[in-house]
């Protein structure tokens, strides 16, 4: 064990010597800047995460010789005269944008508070290697009247931490977080009242339900819910999780009208339970495998279905209706694509619709054998924490052990030959 740890630290250092230090700064005039500082010169910096080319438009170099370019689907920092450099600084645009399959870089609260994603600033000399475990030293400087929430802790002025993997969301603003036993939260008070009520009353109950059934988390999770009333007609709702964190963001006008309808509120409660389920599926390690997103997305849909029925009695009929919707949607998707190809063929939603039905059948099979669907998640999580590759093989190995080889085959058929296998799954 000690030997393994030693190797791991060494490998970080061997690759990590010239990994840029990141310095993010918010000044008194509400302007945001980022600098990257290195100990050795480089001719180019490449970003770890490249959802699109939006940094090219939204970042302005303070040095006219430094430019950002978008090439072959990736963003790079270069000097125009192609001479090497050791530091660069950019002015940022700290407003919300929706990035494809990625966390928003900045989400604004109605009072100007900001939630940012620290992994947006992961850069490497030349290129980042996608499968390499990097570690970035990150510093944040904020004005004296602001506070920051970093990894569940309240911080002031100058703060330092290390960023790895998918990073974290960091809050900067004037609002102190509310702490309860189960959660630390910063919720925008300008959200419409029915939505606020559902967030304040229902979400903690879903968290408590999952803590009871799937195990208490080592550190209480954080919830960030922000709302930016903008006049344009574009309305947006985004939610997601990172280890130990849930975030939700709304932009656009007339949100109060949108949530006036009771079905819309039930839909929101489902969405809250779904996000809460992700936190308990994976509190510290990432279990996500996008090709087989039916594992975590289908699983979160089933966990939402169970939590809603258990915690919100008025949602029982709604949850049952959702079951029928999943059946018809999965049928329609299965005509277009097999689950194994859903991600690359642009049918990502199939992972939710058909994934829900796989998990529904899986739970029924476990129940018949006296097993527990919640324990299955704990076993999967432990297997990944012990070094197993997250994804289909590890998950299905555990499924076969806890149910039977025959049931595993049913799932394999759903993945490879969805339209044909679906009637057998529903039997």
Closer Cβ to Zn ion, 138 or 270, answer by number: 270
Q: How many residues bind Zn ion (CB under 5 A)?
A: 2
- Closest-CB residue for Zn ion? 300
Measured between alpha carbons, how far is 426 from 262 in angstroms, rounded to an integer? 30
Strand ranges (E), 142-230: 147-150, 153-155, 158-163, 169-173, 178-179, 184-187, 222-228
Task: Tell me if 241 sits within 8 A of 278, measured CB to CB.
Answer: yes
Query: Minimal distance in Å, beta carbon 80 to Zn ion?
Result: 42
Span of 17-25, 295-303, 380-388, 418-426 interacting with Zn ion by CB under 5 A? 295-303
Q: Which stretch binds Zn ion (CB under 5 A): 65-73, 92-100, 291-299, 408-416?
A: 291-299
301 vs 402, beta carbon nearer Zn ion: 301
Return the number of the residue (30 or 290) whose C-beta is nearest Zn ion: 290
As measured in angstroms, the least distance from the Cβ of 101 to Zn ion is: 12
Residues 47-66 that bind Zn ion (CB under 5 A): none
Under 8 Å between Cβ of 48 and 124 = yes
Q: Which stretch binds Zn ion (CB under 5 A): 293-301, 323-331, 341-349, 400-408?
A: 293-301
Spatial separation of the C-alpha atoms in residues 297 and 333, rounded to whole Å: 16
Give how far Cα 96 sits from Cα of 305, 353, 395, 422, Å. Answer: 31, 29, 36, 40
Stretch that binds Zn ion, among 15-23, 59-67, 181-189, 294-302 (CB under 5 A): 294-302
Q: In angstroms, what is the minimal distance from the CB of 130 to Zn ion?
A: 22
Backbone dihedral angles phi then psi of residue 354, each to the nearest 5 degrees: -75, -30
Question: What is the full DSSP assignment across 386-420?
Answer: TTPPPSHHHHHHHHHHHS-HHHHHHHHHHHHSHHH
Give the other-Cβ count within 10 Å of 292's Cβ.
23
Q: Tokens for 47, please give them.
A: 């970003």
Largest Cα–Cα separation, the chain: 69
Which is closer to Zn ion, CB of 177 or CB of 299? 299
Shortest distance, CB of residue 50 to Zn ion, whole angstroms? Answer: 22
- Decide whether 300 or 306 has the Cβ nearer to Zn ion: 300
The Cα-based distances of 124 to 18, 119, 135, 156 in angstroms read 8, 12, 10, 28
Q: Which is nearer to Zn ion, 136 or 360 (CB)?
A: 360
d(CA 364, CA 398): 16
Stretch that binds Zn ion, among 44-52, 100-108, 298-306, 386-394 (CB under 5 A): 298-306
Minimum distance, C-beta of residue 143 to Zn ion, in the bound complex (Å): 35
Q: How far is the CB of 165 from Zn ion (least distance, A)?
A: 18
> Which region among 94-102, 183-191, 263-271, 289-297 touches Zn ion (by CB under 5 A)?
289-297
Cβ count within 10 A of residue 154: 13
Least distance in angstroms from the C-beta of 275 to Zn ion:
7
Please report, in angstroms and rounded to a whole number, the separation of the first and last CA atoms in the chain. Answer: 47
Task: Find the shortest distance in angstroms from Cβ 282 to Zn ion.
Answer: 11
Cα 253 to chain centroid distance, Å, stands at 25
Measured from the CB atom, the residue of 114 and 300 that comes closer to Zn ion is 300
Minimum separation from the CB atom of position 352 to Zn ion (A): 8
**Among 70-78, 120-128, 265-273, 296-304, the segment contacting Zn ion (CB under 5 A):** 296-304
Tell me the closest approach of the beta carbon of residue 387 to Zn ion, in angstroms. 25
Angstrom distance (rounded) from CA 52 to CA 213: 39
Q: How far is CA 422 from CA 323, 355, 357, 396, in A?
A: 14, 11, 9, 18
Q: Which stretch binds Zn ion (CB under 5 A): 43-51, 297-305, 398-406, 412-420?
A: 297-305
Close Cβ partners of 146 (under 8 Å, ≥ 6 residues apart): 26, 156, 172, 173, 174
For Zn ion, give the closer residue by CB, 289 or 297. 297
Decide whether 147 or 295 has the Cβ nearer to Zn ion. 295
Site for Zn ion in 138-167 (CB under 5 A): none
Compute the least distance from the CB of residue 278 to Zn ion, in Å: 5
**Residue number with CB closer to Zn ion (149 or 217):** 217
Instruction: Select 254 or 284, whichever has its Cβ closest to Zn ion.
Output: 284
Interaction site with Zn ion (CB under 5 A) = 297, 300
């Amino acid at each position: 064990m000690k030997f393994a740890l030693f190797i791991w630290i060494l490998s970080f250092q061997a690759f990590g010597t010239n990994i840029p230090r990141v310095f993010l700064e918010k000044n008194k005039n509400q302007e945001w800047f980022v600098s990257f500082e290195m100990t050795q010169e480089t001719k180019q910096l490449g970003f770890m995460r490249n959802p699109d080319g939006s940094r090219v438009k939204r970042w302005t170099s303070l040095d006219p010789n430094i430019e950002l370019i978008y090439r072959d689907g990736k963003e790079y920092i270069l000097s125009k005269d192609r001479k090497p450099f050791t530091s660069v600084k950019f002015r940022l645009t700290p407003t919300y944008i929706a990035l494809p399959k990625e966390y928003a870089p900045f989400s604004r609260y109605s009072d100007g508070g900001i939630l940012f994603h620290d992994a947006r600033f992961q850069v490497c000399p030349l290129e980042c290697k996608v499968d390499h475990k990097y570690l970035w030293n990150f510093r944040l400087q904020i004005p004296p009247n602001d506070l920051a929430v970093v990894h569940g802790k309240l911080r002031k002025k100058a703060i330092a931490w290390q960023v790895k993997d998918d990073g974290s969301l960091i809050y900067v603003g004037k609002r102190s977080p509310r702490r309860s036993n189960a959660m630390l939260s910063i919720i925008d008070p300008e959200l419409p009242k029915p939505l606020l009520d559902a967030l304040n009353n229902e979400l903690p109950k879903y968290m408590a339900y999952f803590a009871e059934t799937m195990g208490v988390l080592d550190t209480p999770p954080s919830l960030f819910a922000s709302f930016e009333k903008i006049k344009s007609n574009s309305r947006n709702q985004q939610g997601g999780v990172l280890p130990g964190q849930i975030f939700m963001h709304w932009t656009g006008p007339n949100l109060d009208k949108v949530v006036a309808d009771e079905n819309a509120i039930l839909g929101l409660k489902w969405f809250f339970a779904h996000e809460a389920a992700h936190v308990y599926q994976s509190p510290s390690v990432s279990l996500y495998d996008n090709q087989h997103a039916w594992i975590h997305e289908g699983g979160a849909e089933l966990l939402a279905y169970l939590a809603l029925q258990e915690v919100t009695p008025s949602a029982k009929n709604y949850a049952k209706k959702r079951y029928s919707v999943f059946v018809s949607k999965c049928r329609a998707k299965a005509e277009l694509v097999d689950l194994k190809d859903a991600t690359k063929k642009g049918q990502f939603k199939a992972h939710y619709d058909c994934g829900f039905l796989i998990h529904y059948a899986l739970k029924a099979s476990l129940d018949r054998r006296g097993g527990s669907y919640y324990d299955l998640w704990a076993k999967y999580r432990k297997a990944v924490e012990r070094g197993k590759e997250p994804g289909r093989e590890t998950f299905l190995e555990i499924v076969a052990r806890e149910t039977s080889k025959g049931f595993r085959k049913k799932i394999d058929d759903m993945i490879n030959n969805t339209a044909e296998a679906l009637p057998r799954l529903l039997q």
